[in-house]
Each structure stands twice: as C-alpha cells, then as structure tokens.
Amino acid sequence: MTKTIGLICGSLRKNSYNRMIAESLTTLDDSAQYRWIEISSLPFFNEDLESDGSPESVASFRAAIQDVDGVIIVSPEYNSGITGVLKNALDWASRPRTSSVLNRKPVGLIGATPGGFGTAFAQMQTREVLEAMQVNVLPFQKMLISQVHEKIDSQQKVLTDESTKRYLQRYLQQFIHWIDQAPVPVLD
C-alpha cells in the first residue's frame, strides 16, 4: 500500500533552503505520496486558547498529521537550536497530552544550513522534544546537509547536487520501509 508522508518545513522564510530540500523529496521517490503540513498560521501555543477550543488553524494542522502515515520534518538551525516556529508547532501537536496526533507517529528529521555542521544541534534538540512526546523518531539516521547554498540552484529553487540527491533517496527509502517497522508501545 502506498504510504502518505507529511512534510513540515521548520522555516517560514520565502526562499527557505529547507523548503527547497523538502520540495525535492517529492521528486526523488515516487513510491509514496507527499502532503505539506503547514505551520505558518499557527498561533503561539497558549493553553487558554486550547481550553476555549483550539483555533481552526490548529485543528487543521492536527488533522493533517493524523491523515498521514509518517512525517518528515525539514528544518534549519537557528543559534545552534530548534527554530521557534517548529517548536511552537510541536507544542500544538503534543496536545492534548493523552491523545497527541504525533504519539507513536513515525517521524524523520532532515536539516540544511549554509554552515559546516548541517543542523546537528537542532536535530538533537528536536529529537529530545519528540521523544518526550513519545514519537517514533527514525533511529540512527541523521540527514545533515551542510553548505546547502552550494547544492541548490536558488533561481530555479531545485536541488542540483547529485550526491545529496542520492543520499536523500536512500533516506526516503529507509524511512518509508521503517514506517511499517516502527515499534509498538510497550505501555500505553
């Protein structure tokens, strides 16, 4: 059965390298379907908003996550950490705690940066947040794309580096296969 993968970009920037990388995923492996899960319209997390009934943008965001088999988060790193918009989105997805839409959902992490370390620090922090939410994060795999500005044609907004394309293809194939292998909870 064809898997549906949700794509979340942890950047709101118009010409985000990470959005370009996420967009390239949709062309690298046609064994899955891909859907964007947008986070730009989410309000800042506030339990008061939640107790008054979640805003429509939050309900749509949660429904989009619920409707996919797995999620790949493609995000930059800001000041050696997770982006604010991504953390906000994860906070909304984690609620209500007893029925989080990400609970046990397979999630993969990819990140790109013009710097030399990829997004190692941000991915480590994101992984910690997701594990606290009891999310099944693809183990042992880090997809860190450094010097991304040299691997993308910014005018065409496409990934041009063949080695990175092959690496992303292998990552996608492993993630899609892993969706069916993701561990089941020992305790609920």
- The Cα–Cα gap between 77 and 33 comes to 27
Predicted TM-score (pTM) of the model is 0.94
Residue entry with tokens 């880090």? 142
- What domains are there in the chain, each with its CATH number? 3-179 (3.40.50.360)
- pLDDT per residue rounded down to tens, the chain (188 residues): 899 999 999 999 999 999 999 999 999 999 999 999 999 999 999 988 888 778 999 999 999 999 999 999 999 999 999 999 999 999 999 988 778 999 999 999 999 999 888 899 999 999 999 999 999 999 888 899 999 999 999 888 899 999 999 999 999 999 999 998 866 654 55
| CB-side neighbour CA atoms (13 Å) of 34 | 19
Question: CB of 55 within 8 A of CB of 25?
Answer: no
Question: Residue 185: what pLDDT?
Answer: 57
Q: Find the radius of gyration of the CA atoms of the chain.
A: 16
Measured CA angle at 58 (ends 53, 61), to 5 deg: 145
Q: Each residue of 21-61: pLDDT tens digit?
A: 999 999 999 999 999 999 999 999 998 888 877 899 999 99
How much is the pLDDT for 183? 66
